[in-house]
Chains A and B, each alone.
Chain A
Amino acid sequence: QVQLVESGGGVVQPGGSLRLSCAASGFTFSSYGMHWVRQAPGKGLEWVAFIRYDGSNKYYADSVKGRFTISRDNSKNTLYLQMNSLRAEDTAVYYCAKDARAVAGMNTFDIWGQGTMVTVSS
């Protein structure tokens, strides 16, 4: 069964840091690009970051560039999102999502995790 399970969310003060993890199973993790997508409470979906299947390229939304870092460990089938200098506007449910096409990717998301909540508040 294809599955993504996020962890690492919580409450953090403005300016603080948090690292999210996403454990993948049921598919060849090392063949797929992976994304983080977030959703602020009561709001729509916002793409955050992408990493190629082999980790060779990474892309970020302007809203998080320079503060967030996406990475992966293909030996552990795990995706990460290191979030630094957190702001109130980063408060959201963070989803990891699998790209729908192996290797080349297509930037659509066919498998999603259940999400992990990040709250930035003093």
Chain B
Amino acid sequence: AIWMTQSPSLLSASTGDRVTISCRMSQGISSYLAWYQQKPGKAPELLIYAASTLQSGVPSRFSGSGSGTDFTLTISCLQSEDFATYYCQQYYSFPPTFGQGTKVEIK
């Protein structure tokens, strides 16, 4: 199985900040990477797939970049509704696997 390391595990930020979350893969996955947002008590929601393609309805302040083994999720101007936990997920090979998550909390 392909494993990933997400960093940081916890990120403290303020509304209006630019934040970046990293996801590093144990082997190259081309651009077969997705990002999800999960709020407490709710199901995850797909934000980005193919490393950089925004899912329909997702605000443009979210962006993704990277290929191969190193990927980044960026939130350009953090809003109150963005405080949540974010997961990366590879779908290059079976089984699909998730990162351990990054919690974005209010500073």
A residues adjacent to B (C-beta < 8 A):
44-47, 59, 61-62, 95, 100, 106-110, 112-115
Nearest CB of A to B56, in Å: 9
What 1/0 mask marks residues of chain B from 44 to 65 whose CB sits below 8 Å from any chain A CB?
Answer: 1110010000010000000000
Most A Cβ at <10 Å: residue of B46, B99, B101: B46
Closest chain B residue to A114 by CB distance? B43
B residues adjacent to A (C-beta < 8 A):
34, 36, 38, 42-46, 49, 55, 87, 89, 91, 94-101
Closest chain B residue to A63 by CB distance? B95
Nearest CB of B to A24, in Å: 14
Complex contact A95–B43 (CB within 8 A): yes
Q: Complex: how many Å from CA A110 to CA B42?
A: 14
